[in-house]
């Protein structure tokens, strides 16, 4: 893997998904909004000259995969959701490292959000 200074960042920012997540039946009774941010480190230098989407990371693919995940899966913990998002991002051959942040905004009266941030590498 190239060192981080030789990799570019591709990101999906503030993606609000509506899904089922929670540790008890009360939480899981209704879908809630979950805010996801993804930063992917990849070597996209070739794409600068080829102008070919295959030489970079097409974030629309991850976008579609996250929509499908929200529609087809239920989660107990946001940690599991974050891990699944990281796995999807790392499936791309150019992605070497990923940072995923998952937040549950407004879950408590005096709290803007609560969440987790994970970093995974190939």
| pLDDT, averaged in runs of 10, over the chain (122 residues) | 79 96 88 96 91 90 95 96 98 96 92 96 96
User: What is the model's pLDDT at position 5?
Assistant: 67
pLDDT at 66: 96
Predicted TM-score (pTM) of the model is 0.90
CATH classification of 4-121, choosing from 3.90.1300.10, 3.30.1130.10, 1.10.579.10, 3.30.390.50?
3.30.1130.10
What does the pLDDT read at residue 68? 96
CA distances 72 to 26, 78, 106, Å, are: 20, 16, 24
Model pLDDT, residue 58: 92
94 phi and psi, to 5 degrees?
Answer: -85, -20
């Amino acid at each position: 893997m190239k060192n981080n200074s030789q990799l570019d960042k591709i990101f999906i920012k503030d993606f609000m998904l509506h899904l089922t997540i929670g540790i008890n039946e009360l939480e899981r009774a209704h879908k809630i909004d979950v805010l996801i941010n993804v930063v992917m480190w990849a070597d996209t230098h070739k794409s600068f000259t080829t102008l070919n989407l295959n030489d970079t990371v097409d974030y629309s693919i991850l976008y579609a995969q996250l929509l499908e995940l929200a529609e087809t899966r239920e989660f107990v913990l946001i940690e599991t959701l974050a891990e699944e998002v990281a796995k999807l991002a790392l499936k791309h051959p150019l992605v070497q490292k990923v940072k995923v942040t998952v937040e549950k905004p407004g879950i408590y009266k005096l709290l803007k959000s609560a969440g987790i941030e994970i970093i995974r590498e190939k």
